[in-house]
Amino acid sequence: MAYDSPMFDEIIEPMRAELTNIGFEELHTPEDVISAFENNSGTTLVVVNSICGCASGIARPAVRQALESGPKPDHLVTVFAGRDVEATAKAREYFTGYPPSSPSIGLLKDGKFLYLIERRQIEGHKVQDVKNELSEALEKYFG
């Protein structure tokens, strides 16, 4: 379901800014996703952002902390579930073997999917746990 209203945009703007303020590029269309995933060489961290509490209280802080201390991907991109519906669906097509999940955090290298932290690994967990999981994955795949 897409939420298409100025009020929703106002509500989610700070949630988007948490990632864009630390260098994430927003992908709004399927074409944006294809370009970012297939045309960028090197490493890519993608966050499927969400309005839910586990995105606000756990996922986004964990991503920020992991990036402060670990290997830095070449590209940081994000889609917003519930808002950028078609872009989110396109991004999820790359996460083979995983059901749709938001929030989620994925890693790609040269357009090839490597790793995903799903909502079930975020919701109900501590920021430090998710940060550690992401940091270990960044080191393993990008270090």
- Within-domain flag for 63: yes
- Within-domain flag for 121: yes
Q: Three-class SS of residue 82?
A: coil
Dihedral sign computed on CA atoms, order 6, 8, 10, 15? negative
- Within-domain flag for 143: no
Q: Which residues are catalytic?
A: 52, 54
Q: Can you read off the two tokens belonging to residue 106?
A: 């994925």
What is the identity of the amino acid at 28? H
When divided into structural domains, the chain yields a total of 1
Whether the CB-CB separation of 9 and 42 falls below 8 Å is answered with no
pLDDT in 10s for each residue of the chain, 143 residues:
556 667 777 889 999 999 999 999 999 999 999 999 999 899 999 999 999 999 999 999 999 999 998 899 999 999 999 899 999 999 999 999 999 999 999 999 999 999 999 999 999 999 999 999 999 999 999 98
Longest dimension (CA), the chain: 41
- Within-domain flag for 141: no
pTM above 0.85, yes or no: yes
Domain interval for residue 72: 6-135
Q: What is the C-alpha separation between 85 and 21, in angstroms, rounded?
A: 22
- Within-domain flag for 129: yes
Q: What is the C-alpha separation between 137 and 97, in angstroms, rounded?
A: 18
- Within-domain flag for 114: yes
**Residues forming beta bridges with residue 116, ordered by sequence position:** 106
CATH number at residue 98: 3.40.30.10
